[in-house]
Amino acid sequence: MMTDDPSEPVHSVLDYYDGPLSGVADFGGKPHGFDTEEIDWDSGDRVFRLSPLTEQVFRATTEAWAIWRRWEAAFHEGRTTLETHPALPEDRLRKDELDRFLQTRLVHGDRRVVRARGEFGPCPTSTWNGYGMKPLRVRWTVVE
């Protein structure tokens, strides 16, 4: 994507099926949680709910994503098995703590929710370890 492209970074993907379903991405230059509100399976069009995140919640999602990415790399390198999914043994306790913390904080139930279509694509400026999902960017289009 070009440098003047209005797309924004995707910080983490929490659920995925034929494209991101939920996660954390910037919207208007600030971290927001996003989750799927509706999908048109014929066109692939997806409408998401986006909610701003506090700095504490954003840091927790970033840490949880790093734990996942370490597990993912170790799995693809043959250093761990599916039995350890979704965290390496040394990260398991912290991952469980983060999951409990985030469970109630990534809910999109307040009036600050923005509805937007999301067009996801690879981030050409990010480095990628060759395992799992490539880093993504998203272009949001607000839905009234």
For residue 16, the surrounding DSSP H or E stretch is: strand 8-16
Q: Mind listing the pLDDT tens digit for each residue in 102-121?
A: 988 776 555 678 999 999 98
pLDDT given for residue 23 in this prediction: 92
Cα 61 to Cα 121: distance, rounded to the nearest angstrom:
21
Cα 68 to Cα 56: distance, rounded to the nearest angstrom:
19
Distances (CA, A) of 93 to 55, 87, 141: 22, 9, 38
pLDDT given for residue 108 in this prediction: 59
CB within 8 A of 19, min separation 6: which ones?
Answer: 44, 46, 120
Q: What is the mean pLDDT of residues 12-35?
A: 92
- The candidate with the shortest Cα–Cα distance to 67, out of 101, 27, 108, is 101
pLDDT given for residue 125 in this prediction: 67
**Amino acid residing at 18:** D
Q: Mind listing the pLDDT tens digit for each residue in 33-81?
A: 999 999 888 887 899 999 999 999 999 999 999 999 999 999 999 999 9
Question: What is the pLDDT confidence band of residue 93, given thresholds at 50, 70 and 90?
Answer: very high
Question: What is the pLDDT confidence band of residue 2, given thresholds at 50, 70 and 90?
Answer: very low
Q: Please state, rounded to an integer, the average pLDDT across all residues of the chain.
A: 87
Cα 15 to Cα 102: distance, rounded to the nearest angstrom:
14
pLDDT given for residue 1 in this prediction: 40
Cα 57 to Cα 106: distance, rounded to the nearest angstrom:
8
Cβ pair 47, 19 in contact under 8 A = no
pLDDT given for residue 68 in this prediction: 92
Report the percentage of the chain scoring pLDDT > 70.
90
Instruction: Say yes or no to pLDDT of 126 above 80.
Output: no
